[in-house]
Amino acid sequence: MGKLGEAGLAATAGPARTLGMEGECRASQARSWGLPAGGAGGDSPGGDAPLPGSISSSSLLQAEVLDLDEDEDDLEVFSKDASLMDMNSFSPLMPTSPLSMINQVKFEDEPDLKDLFITVDEPESHVTTIETFITYRIITKTSRGEFDSSEFEVRRRYQDFLWLKEKLEEAHPTLIIPPLPEKFIVKGMVERFNDDFIETRRKALHKFLNRIADHPTLTFNEDFKIFLTAQASEFSSHKKQGPGLLSRMGQSVRAVALSMRGVKSRPEEFMEMNNFIEIFSQKINLIDKISQRIYKEEREYLDEMKEYGPIHILWSASEEDLADTLKSVASCIDKCCKATEKRMSGFSEALLPVVHEYALYSEMLMAVMKRRDQIQAELDSKVEALTSKKADTDLLTEEIGKLEDKVECANNALKADWERWKQNMQNDIKSAFTNMAEENILYYEQFSIRSP
């Protein structure tokens, strides 16, 4: 992980990191990430084409140890540069001019420039008089200036993650926020806190935070920072701030009413996007189900095979001439079992979580689409109001002006993030399935080598 050093950041000191700021407000110069020139870290193949969110980002996320080379001067330089820009996300109410926004917004992940490393581990059960719940330990290591320290350790529970997600959605309604693992267990399990369930959830939460960290905009969100760093009391008091329950409820009612209108005036490119999302969602959910089913069938196959082998041993006890042949068949079956177990574990680590995450992502995408439509609808309703009532034209015009900005911001943000998301998706899916194919090849090779 010393890539940061190798990446020759000095060479890329010029381009600053992309700081996509939108939401409903300030837009600033969004520039694409400079490609690490020449001396790109060993991992990025062939320096020409950008490899945004390349496979390495997923593998990065899953790497247990993410050591930060703190004595890299390059890093210092880099963070200082970054700190010069105002990177904090901000309250949704400040207006912004669309003119400063460049249409060409590209979000690319640069693993070489990663300076925020998060791990989620050590689930612990807490029992109180009211409830039992699990907390997870979150360790953050960073070199960023705006963090008070370079290392943080906090404990959070699922509810806290939910809070974070909601805040991010509020702040950036048309960015694709990564999905959280399900709140409840879907089916089959009896205990809520079954070990497998906890482990799966832990991995998903780890993924969730790292996806945010890798996102060029979300990574600088203030709530995110607080989530990662605040100790228990500070954190709970922070959570209590923000729009109250009633106002949030009011917002959502309005939102539902508006979303219907937004659909009608959707620009072409978003129609296409919506179409994609609908079909993708269908297909990825099917693939999720299919993959789970394959795992289940393999598990049952393994169970039967485990009984199959020993019968041959039993038989060999009553035979003389056949004993050796029978015993070697039994040992082959046994090795087959082991190979199957390995195949299954590879499957459940590489493919299942990825496919499932994207199934959950598809819900996020639909929500993003809705929110975009809502923003558009707000604008449309005001425009309608303008054309029908002639009163208060000035006020309306001003409002419309703001809303137009807002819509444009939202649309551009979405577009940019969409491209980034799609690229990530493509890479993730490709590597997940390639991995699965590889596992299967290994499995069959294993088995065939051993046969008499």
Partner 1 sequence: MEQAAPDPERLWQPAPLEPLSHPDAGLESMVGEETKGARDEGPGDGTMTENNFSLKKIEISVSEAEKRTGRNAMNMQETYTAYLIETRSVEHNDGQSVLTDSLWRRYSEFELLRNYLLVYYPHIVVPPLPEKRAEFVWHKLSADNMDPDFVERRRIGLENFLLRVASHPILCRDKIFYLFLTQEGNWKETVNETGFQLKADSRLKALNATFRVKNPDKRFIELKHYSDELQSVISHLLRVRARVADRLYGVYKVHGNYGRVFSEWSAIEKEMGDGLQSAGHHMDVYASSIDDILEDEEHYADQLKEYLFYAEALRAVCRKHELMQYDLEMAAQDLASKKQQCEELATGTVRTFSLKGMTTKLFGQETPEQREARIKMLEEQIKEGEQQLKSKNLEGREFVRNAWADIERFKEQKNHDLKEALISYAVMQISMCKKGIQVWTNAKECFSKM
Which residues of the chain form contacts with partner 1 (CB under 8 A)?
Answer: 275-276, 279-280, 283-284, 286-287, 290, 293-294, 297-298, 300-301, 304-305, 307-308, 311-312, 314-315, 318-319, 321-322, 325-326, 329, 332, 426, 429-430, 433-434, 437-438, 440-441, 443-445, 447-448, 451-452
Q: What is the largest CA-CA distance in the chain?
A: 104
C-alpha closest to that of 135 among 152, 117, 153, 111: 153
What is the Cα–Cα distance from 180 to 209, expressed in whole angstroms?
A: 9
**Which one, 185 or 313, has the nearer CB to partner 1?**
313
Residue closer to partner 1 by CB (options 84, 441) is 441
3-state secondary structure of 314: helix
**DSSP string for residues in 158-222:** HHHHHHHHHHHHHH-TTS-PPPPPPSS--SS---TT-HHHHHHHHHHHHHHHHHHHHSTTGGG-H
Nearest Cα to 186, choosing from 178, 175, 176, 197?
Answer: 197
First to last CA, the chain: 44
Closer to partner 1 by CB, 191 or 307: give it: 307
Looking at residue 320, the DSSP 8-state letter turns out to be S
Burial of 294 (C-beta count, 10 Å sphere; 0-12/13-18/19+): middle
Closest distance to partner 1 from the beta carbon of 59 (Å): 16
When the beta carbons of 197 and 315 are compared against partner 1, the nearer one is: 315
- Residue 48 or 321 with smaller CB distance to partner 1: 321
Minimal distance, residue 130 CB to partner 1, in Å = 43
Q: How far is the CB of 284 from partner 1 (least distance, A)?
A: 8
Q: Give the residue with the Cβ less far from partner 1, 62 or 292.
A: 292
What is the chain's length?
452
Closest C-alpha to 284, from 348, 368, 366? 366
Least Cβ distance, residue 320 to partner 1 (angstroms): 8
In the bound state with partner 1, the residue whose beta carbon lies nearer, of 6 and 298, is 298
Q: How far is the CB of 182 from partner 1 (least distance, A)?
A: 22
Pick between residue 339 and residue 379 the one whose CB is nearest to partner 1. 339
Least distance from C-beta 27 to partner 1, angstroms?
29
- Specify whether the CB–CB gap between 398 and 95 falls below 8 A: no
> Closest approach of Cβ 331 to partner 1, in Å?
11
Nearest approach in angstroms of CB 343 to partner 1 is 10
Structure tokens at 444: 């069959």
The DSSP code sequence of 210-273 is: HHHHHSTTGGG-HHHHHHHH--HHHHHHHHH-SS-HHHHHHHHHHHHHHHHHHHHT--HHHHHH
CA 153 to chain centre: 21
Query: In the complex with partner 1, which residue's Cβ is closer, 200 or 316?
Result: 316
Q: Which is nearer to partner 1, 191 or 320 (CB)?
A: 320
Q: How far is the CB of 293 from partner 1 (least distance, A)?
A: 5
- Residue 90 phi, psi (nearest 5): -145, 180
Least distance to partner 1, CB of residue 218, Å: 25
